[in-house]
């Protein structure tokens, strides 16, 4: 139960849900709304789980992979991306399901999220697989999946200050929970 594999599983499910939204007739607002609610919950829970269980440890053991200079840069970029994904998802919520504006907002959320996942797979996950022992990845995977399962209906989406997170992930998470 490697945390990297669990994250990739979530990425596949996120891609699948965005694809389903593209295939549902725009007039079937009940189906669109149901799939969007599941996707939104997964986006929010997934980001929070990574921020709690992957990135704090990546900053300790990572060295930077592929086109990332170091683990702090990978992490800063991921936190910024998570904020952008939350903002894009919030924009979807501002429109009536099935309208042109809603579909455009979903497309934008898909774009923002897809860019993030590709970068994370190329950088952070590669870095973590190279530098964290399998036993640790398993232990973190257990915590990641437990968090995910406990929050299947989602978490409150709270943006985080990337620079503050880099300095102290634990303090940033505590502050976000206190809002």
CATH number at residue 63: 1.20.120
- Residue 158's region, left for phi above 0, alpha for psi from -120 to 50, else beta, is beta
Alpha carbons 46 and 145: distance in angstroms, whole number: 10
pLDDT of 134 reads: 96
Q: End-to-end CA distance of the chain, in Å?
A: 32
pLDDT in tens, the chain (179 residues): 999 999 999 999 999 999 999 999 999 999 999 999 999 999 999 999 999 999 999 989 987 777 878 788 899 999 999 999 999 999 999 999 999 999 999 999 999 999 999 999 999 999 999 999 999 999 999 999 999 999 999 999 999 999 999 988 777 667 666 65
Euclidean distance between CA atoms 127 and 159, whole angstroms: 24
User: How high is the pLDDT of residue 175?
Assistant: 67
Domain with 153, as residue range(s), is: 3-177
Q: What's the total number of domains in the chain? A: 1
Put residue 163 in one of left, alpha, beta given phi > 0 → left and psi -120 to 50 → alpha.
Answer: alpha
Q: Which long-range contacts (CB under 8 A, 24 or more apart) does 69-73 make?
A: 71/124, 71/127, 72/166
Q: Concatenate the DSSP letters of all residues of 53-90 into one string.
A: HTHHHHHHH----TT-S-HHHHHHHHHHHHHHHHHHHH
Gap between the Cα atoms of 78 and 91, Å rounded: 20
Q: What pTM was computed for the model?
A: 0.93
């Amino acid at each position: 139960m490697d945390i990297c594999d669990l994250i990739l599983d979530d990425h596949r499910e996120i891609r699948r849900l965005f694809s389903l939204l593209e295939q549902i007739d725009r007039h079937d607002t009940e189906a669109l709304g149901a799939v969007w609610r599941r996707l939104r919950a997964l986006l929010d829970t997934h980001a929070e789980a990574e921020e709690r269980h992957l990135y704090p440890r990546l900053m300790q053991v990572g060295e930077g992979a592929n086109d990332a200079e170091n683990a702090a840069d990978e992490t800063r970029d991921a936190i910024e991306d998570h904020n952008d994904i939350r903002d894009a998802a919030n924009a979807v919520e501002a429109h009536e399901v099935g309208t042109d504006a809603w579909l455009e907002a979903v497309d934008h959320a898909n774009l923002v999220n897809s860019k993030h996942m590709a970068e994370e797979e190329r950088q952070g996950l590669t870095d973590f697989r190279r530098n964290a022992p399998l036993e640790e990845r398993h232990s973190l995977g257990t915590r990641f999946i437990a968090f995910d399962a406990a929050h299947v209906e989602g978490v409150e989406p709270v943006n985080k200050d990337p620079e503050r997170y880099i300095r102290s992930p634990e303090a940033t998470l505590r502050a976000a929970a206190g809002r």
